[in-house]
Structure 1
Amino acid sequence: MVDLFNKVADANGITRAPGLLQGDVVRSFEDRVHVDHHHFYFDISAVEKGEQMLKAEFRVFKLKGTHRSRRSDTKHFCKVEVYELLESENKPQKKHLIASRLLSLHTEGWEVFNVTQTVSKWVGNKSSNHGFWITATHVSKNGMEHDMVTFAKSQGTLQESRNALLVLFTNSNKRRSHSFVPFATKSETNLPAKSDASRVSHDAAVMESSSASMSRRPRAAAAAAARSPLAACHRRELYVDFHAIGWSGWIIHPDGYNAYYCRGSCIFPLGGSLNATNHATVQSIVYTMKLSQDVSMPCCVPDELQSLNLLYFDDKLNAVLKHYKDMVATSCGCH
């Protein structure tokens, strides 16, 4: 998941290029069966029914064969078959073949199986999810041999990086999925109580002070520009530190990002650099000439916004990579 994050985003989470990520949500589920080396089960209850399934990948790490075939035997491949279990794990004989392929006995590495159709059914009916069953058979001169190769399981001495995964690529049809609201409901989030208002004000002042200290302009010039009511609308830095707001415990990447914000006046005449709308231009004229007491000065707001990618843990400790729109102000304008 970290590799995928680095592919689609830079270190700050900014999207490298549109279209690199298939869908707007990528969910990674770990194998939850720790006994039978044939059985792999993934709890996908975190997936909502409204999500559009684009692709589902069953990823398992193939270990080297337990022993080598005789040199005279030219068949160095085994047949691997992946099944959907149709009933509980105690009845593996009731299964449906999903995929099969030939694999070398003497190599190891990741194998990826497309299980989109099966997982789509599980999302629609979670009670039908009994997991996958995987077998490996080898036909040699000595007859048919079973379990000559095995796949890494999440137990004991095996490295966590080799654990079997189910990776889902989805699109959410709900507008809310693109908002930042779900983060505010996380149980790990330490939101301050009303009685902590003074502490919040202090923390905000510290963050603002830290942001200002990182500016390349002298402090005096920055302070003067902030106080000046005639400073033209422009973009300013606003670094969001996930550690400072108590979110570093569940957000994996990035550590924070520069959201930027817009500040400044939109008084007539509005120059071309202010990206003013025609409506804002007329409103600024009316405001400047004081033709109406009810009309205010046009607002300095983000004119263009950029997306952000976050890699984080959900409530069930599954790794999720999510694409959020309109998270970074790239330019400002008068509207």
Structure 2
Amino acid sequence: MEGFRCLLLYLCLSLAGSCKGKSIEDDSGVLQTLDDDLEQEDNLNSRLEKLGTMKEDFLRMLNLSGVPQEQRKVQPPPFMMELYNKYASDKSSVPRSDVIRSFILQDVTQSVIRNNKTSHRLLFNVSVPNFEEVTLVQLRLFTLWDGAQTACDDFLASVTVYEVEHIQNREILHLLDRKDIPDTEPTWEAFDVTNAIHSWLQSSCGAGELEVKVESQGCGSFKGGGFNISLDLEDNTSPVLIVFSDDIENRKGKARGEVKEMMTHEDESFLLKVDALEDSNGEVHLDRHPRRKRQARKNYCRRTSLRVNFKDIGWDQWIVAPPEYEAYECKGVCSFPLTNDVTPSKHAIIQTLMHLSNPKKANKACCVPTKLDPLTVMYQENGVITVRHLYEEMKVAKCGCR
């Protein structure tokens, strides 16, 4: 609005010569204000353009074709929150897989209680992109006391997980994993069901049933209540499948990028020793104006803050964590001489020297990111919670001249 007022005043001065009897040339304050507003508008447009590019890159890194349209935010399982917090806080932690997804229980198709034994048929629907390789799948069950019965000393229980295979009119159970539960405290237990999910995905169905059998002895036997697994969807303790997978496509791209970087950024120290460029007469053309030198140092290529808040860009409905992060950006000029702290490439040095010799022949080198740090993200897509450990291209670590 202020810029618009200044524009009106500028037009007034242009048409009338002076609204107060002064010439337009004398009103330098108005012109300066107008120039400042135009510069601020250019900076805003530049930032909006960068933000749009970042949003596209962000979706591409997550292998998403568009912004997920989620109706409501899904509460992530405790295990997923633990994983995210671990990778987000400890940069030295190396994830066992690139992508970790959690699939909630779709339905309990059958539940039987007989004396000290219970069995539950659990239906899940799993979907994983075909360019990802599933490395491990865990069924996580929350074990607890069913009813009002309390813990005792002679307790012993076992939990066994089977894959249910339907062949014509028959059902065949395939043993997947088994655990003895010696402790009576409510807790999460993990069972390896990788083979079952591999067969589901290979069948192009992605849906299947797992049968969980709980057998208890001693005071854990069922007599009006005993040891069981939670099936409650409301308190976030129902069974959940955790699928670990590797993004083969992104790993190949990263490997190609690392090889290219090794080939491109060779040892350039010998070029950094160049003190000045001499012309054909042996004269050195350097700007020795102290004010310009101070201004150049102030605007020299460096890393500056760029805070990305997912709520500001309308992504808070599907980005679970973090709510915001510091992405940084590279700003400034690459002026001669290019010092070690901006790690110039050989091409950047030659380009800078050429620009110094003849600005019409070559532009200055550009201030760009030369090192990027990963960002761990938790998001939801179609109700599926995903933790993704991104290895590159999300946060600027260093800036340089290229």
- Using the size of structure 2 for normalisation, the TM-score is 0.61
Higher radius of gyration, 1 or 2: 2
CA distance in 2, matches of 1:76, 1:66: 16
Describe the superposition over 1:168-198 as per-residue Cα deviations: whole angstroms up to 9, x where unpaired. 111111239999xxxxxxxxxxxxxxxxxxx
Q: Identify the match of residue 305 of structure 1 among 356, 359, 372.
A: 372
The superposition leaves residues 92-151 of structure 1 with CA deviations (integer Å, 9 ceiling, x where unpaired) of: 94221111222248442111101122222222223374221011224679x999x95321
* Aligned pairs (5 A) from 1:28-67: 28-34=102-108, 36-37=110-111, 38-45=120-127, 47-64=128-145
Q: How does 1:224-303 map to 2 (within 5 A)?
A: 231-290=299-358, 293-303=360-370
1:95-174 correspondence runs (5 A): 95-104=173-182, 106-127=184-205, 129-138=207-216, 148-155=226-233, 159-160=235-236, 162-174=237-249
How many Å apart are 1:29 and its aligned residue? 0.7
| Amino acid corresponding to residue 247 of structure 1 in structure 2 | W
Alpha-carbon contact 1:68-1:106 (below 8 Å) kept: no
Q: Is the 8 A contact 2:306 2:327 kept in 1?
A: yes
Counterpart of 1:78 in structure 2: which amino acid?
A
CA shift in 2, pair 1:32/1:310, >3 Å: same
3-state SS, counterpart of residue 314 of structure 2: coil
Letter in 2 for 1:27: R
2:296–2:335 Cα contact (<8 Å) kept: no
User: How many residue pairs are counted as aligned between the two chains?
Assistant: 275
After superposition, residues 157-236 of structure 1 pair within 5 angstroms as 159-160=235-236, 162-175=237-250, 231-236=299-304
Tell me how far apart the structure 1 counterparts of residues 222 and 247 of structure 2 sit (CA, whole Å): 46
Structure 1 contact 82–133 (Cα < 8 Å) conserved: yes
SS across alignment from 1:150: strand
Q: Percent identity?
A: 25
TM-score, normalising length from structure 1?
A: 0.72
- Is this contact kept in 1: 2:354–2:362, CA < 8 A? yes
Q: Given the alignment of the two structures, is residue 24 of structure 1 paired with residue 98 of structure 2, yes or no?
A: yes
- Give the helix-richer structure, 1 or 2: 2
Q: 1:233 to 1:107 in 2, by over 3 A?
A: closer
Cα distance change of structure 1 residues 105 and 273 upon mapping to structure 2, 3 Å threshold:
closer
CA distance in 1, matches of 2:344, 2:91: 28
CA distance in 1, matches of 2:143, 2:322: 31
Residues 64 and 105 of structure 1 are in contact (CA less than 8 Å); yes or no, is this contact kept in structure 2?
no
CA contact (8 A) 2:142 2:188 kept: yes
Aligned to 2:73: none
User: Which structure ranks higher in relative contact order (CA pairs < 8 Å, sequence separation ≥ 6)?
Assistant: 1
Q: Is the 8 A contact 2:197 2:206 kept in 1?
A: no
> 1:302·1:332 contact (CA, 8 Å) conserved in 2?
yes
In 2, Cα distance between equivalents of 1:92 and 1:31: 24
Q: Is the 8 A contact 2:300 2:332 kept in 1?
A: yes
Deviation at 1:91, TM superposition (A): 7.5
Deviation at 1:282, TM superposition (A): 1.4
8 Å CA contact retained: 1:85, 1:94: yes
* Structure 2: distance between partners of 1:102 and 1:272: 61
Residue by residue over 1:77-98, the C-alpha shift from the partner in whole angstroms, topping out at 9 and shown as x without a partner, is 133211001029x989422111
Cα distance between partner residues in 2 of 1:29 and 1:40: 12
Give the AA of the match of 2:140.
R
Per-residue deviation, residues 175-225 of structure 1 (Å, max 9, x unmatched): 39999xxxxxxxxxxxxxxxxxxxxxxxxxxxxxxxxxxxxxxxxxxxxxx
